[in-house]
Amino acid sequence: MKEFTLDNGIKIPSVVVGVFRVEDAKIAYDMIRTALAVGYRHIDTAMIYGNEEAVGKAIKDSGVDRKDIFLTTKLWNDDQRSGKVNEAIETSLSKLGTEYVDLYLVHWPVKGTYADVWKKMEKVYENGKAKAIGVSNYNIHHLDDLLEKAEVIPAVNQIECYQYFSQENIVKYCRDKGICPEAWGPLGAGQSDILSNQVIMEIAEKHSKTPAQVVLRWNLQRGVVVIPKSVHENRLKENLDIYNFRLEDDDMQRICSLNKDLRLGADPDNFNF
Ligand code: NDP
């Protein structure tokens, strides 16, 4: 379970360190150095997070081989609107100090651009600048539109997903189409009481694990990659230490029943950025 396999055969580490809202270069640098030192091998950034340079420098200084790190970045909405996909990946690669990323994602479904942007993403893939390409924040109807014309199936769909917003339908759709689902905000993005939910706390106690470990493990057992973010070493370690226990069917069911379709982030059908 440490790695899942994407549709094109590439292995993807299933617990990812995310760096959204870590704009301060020193904090981002330190966080990635720490994350790599404690065992993370998958980093999720984006052009719009403003920390690609710090991430790239941390990777370089870490002593970990570039080929042993799975690096994701994302194509921002302005670059979709202007159609400058190749320019955008080149800028990201230069900031990250690398010749390729492992995964390049269309960050949000910008209306009217899906087919054209995806064609250009396919070129990025063909040119080897990304080992895999995918999307983020795509609902089922966005994916249906994209798949009509796509030659390369998106390897990944990165969506908001935690226990009060379990996105069961999209997760199932993605699984059926060979698209690997990834969960952003898997801990409730620091805006939810999910980590003090009674059911989660009971299950955590039963397995001698923390609530954070239980909520992350639940997604892994559904085949969903998780992207927890923390700037603290103890939490980075805690969030990675989820491979040594198994939630039982009954635990999984109880956690599934917590869903209340409660979205915390922006709605992909109605965003203005
Ligand atoms: P998370 O669910 O990862 O929550 C992060 C919050 O939880 C922070 O406040 C963090 O605090 C806290 N935290 C981390 N670990 C623990 C723990 N073990 N116990 C208690 N609290 C903890 O949400 P994010 O919104 O940060 O999302 C994670 C990643 O997903 C982002 O960094 C980004 O890579 C990606 N993302 C992608 C989006 C997209 O549109 N594709 C949108 C949003 C996020 P602290 O740092 O102080 O430890």
Compute the Cα dihedral for 31, 34, 40, 42 and give only its sign: positive
Calpha distance 52→183 (Å, rounded)? 21
Mean predicted lDDT score pLDDT of the chain: 98
Report the separation in Å between the CA atom of 127 and the middle of ligand 1, taken as the mean of its atom positions: 32
Residue nearest to atom 30 of ligand 1 (CA): 184
Active site residues: 49
Calpha distance 186→225 (Å, rounded)? 9
E strand segments, 59-171 = 70-75, 103-106, 133-136, 156-160
Contact 52, 81 (CB under 8 A): no
| 134-175 pLDDT tens trace | 999 999 999 999 999 999 999 999 999 999 999 999 999 999
The token pair at 103 is 């995964």
| 65-113 pLDDT tens trace | 999 999 999 999 999 999 999 999 999 999 999 999 999 999 999 999 9
| 22-48 pLDDT tens trace | 999 999 999 999 999 999 999 999 999
Calpha distance 253→99 (Å, rounded)? 44
Find out whether the beta carbon of 235 lies less than 6 Å from any atom of ligand 1. yes
The token pair at 225 is 């990659």
Find out whether the beta carbon of 164 lies less than 6 Å from any atom of ligand 1. no
Find out whether the beta carbon of 195 lies less than 6 Å from any atom of ligand 1. yes
Report the separation in Å between the CA atom of 191 and the middle of ligand 1, taken as the mean of its atom positions: 10
Contact 74, 101 (CB under 8 A): no
Calpha distance 85→75 (Å, rounded)? 7
- Does the global pTM surpass 0.85? yes
Angle between helices 198-206 and 211-221 (to 10 degrees): 90
Kindly report the backbone phi and psi dihedral angles of residue 8, in degrees, each rounded to the nearest multiple of 5, phi listed first: -90, 10
* 14: Cα within 13 Å, side-chain hemisphere: 20
Find out whether the beta carbon of 73 lies less than 6 Å from any atom of ligand 1. no
